[in-house]
Amino acid sequence: MEGRALSRPQGAMMAQPITVMLGILPCVFSITCLSAAEQTGAPACDPSGVCTAARPPAAPAGGKQLWAASRAFTDAPPLEVQKWVSGKPEMEGKFLVIEFWRTWCGACKRMTPLMNTLHKKYGDELVVIGLTGEQEEKVLANKGPKKEYCLALDRPQADAGTLNAQRSTLNAQGAGVAGGPDQAEGTIPTTEGQGAYEAYFGVWGWPHVIILEPQHRTVIWEGFPGLKGYELTEAKVEKILALGRAASDKKAGKR
């Protein structure tokens, strides 16, 4: 699942440094929007490598496949988890790389080395968080490459009402904007093991990764990190971090 760059809703104002950063990032992302409808079915890994709960729709012409509702360039809700399995990390002033995953997911296991590398190599500037709505026992018993980054349990779906309200607010902000992105509509779907935060993003294929910038927690990257041709790589993360540093330096210079 590769991230796709979309226009920000006009109702969400951002500081100039972040505007500069987001103005450059479209060279990394595609300019498309896809809203995936929830379907039933046994979890499986499709030909592209992502493990899904449904058959993926065809990718838009010239675009990238996304197994979630697009939230690119919108401000994410505050990350509130049910429990930090590995201890709560210090997130202030850092990029957040949030990986929605499942213990049964083969593609998640294949992406674990990448997430570990990002955690080790760029830990001073970003926090990698593996988030799942599964039971803690399953997470602790998970076999495969060890996840060396932060792990957390998502809040249960019973808390999804607040996130639905936040989704309505974001949709309203983008309504009627000429050339603006399509917004996911309706209440958040339910899949086994899905918590409230993941459901807000409409995730139905795993792993799904989002990257949030430090100031506004704006989604600046989203997608399946292993999608051929649109992979999330160390080089791509380095570019994102470099833009963040440049924006911070510019902001500091104006003080």
Find the mean pLDDT for residues 204-209. 95
* Average pLDDT of the segment spanning 87-94: 96
Q: What is the mean pLDDT of the chain?
A: 77
- Residue 253, pLDDT > 60, answer yes
Neighbours of 171 (CB within 10 A): 16
Q: Which residue has the higher pLDDT, 215 or 54?
A: 215
Long-range contacts made by residues 107-112, C-beta under 8 angstroms, separation at least 24?
Answer: 107/45, 107/49, 107/50, 107/51, 107/206, 107/207, 107/224, 107/226, 108/51, 108/206, 108/207, 109/144, 109/145, 110/49, 110/226, 111/207, 111/225, 111/226, 112/144, 112/145, 112/146, 112/147
Q: How far apart are CA 102 and CA 130, in angstroms?
A: 9
* Predicted local confidence at residue 162, as pLDDT: 54
Give 165's pLDDT tier (boundaries 50, 70, 90): low
Low-confidence winner among 62-76, 90-104, 134-148, 185-199 (lowest mean pLDDT): 185-199
Q: If DSSP codes are grouped into helix, strand and coil, which group holds residue 106?
A: helix
Higher pLDDT, 251 or 100: 100
Range of lowest pLDDT (13-17, 28-32, 80-84, 198-202): 28-32
- 186 pLDDT band, cuts 50/70/90, is very low
98: β partners: 129, 210
More confident residue, 231 or 43: 231
Band (34; pLDDT cuts 50, 70, 90): very low
Contacts of 44 (CB under 8 A, 6+ apart): 51, 52
Model-level pTM greater than 0.75? no
What is the pLDDT at residue 190?
52
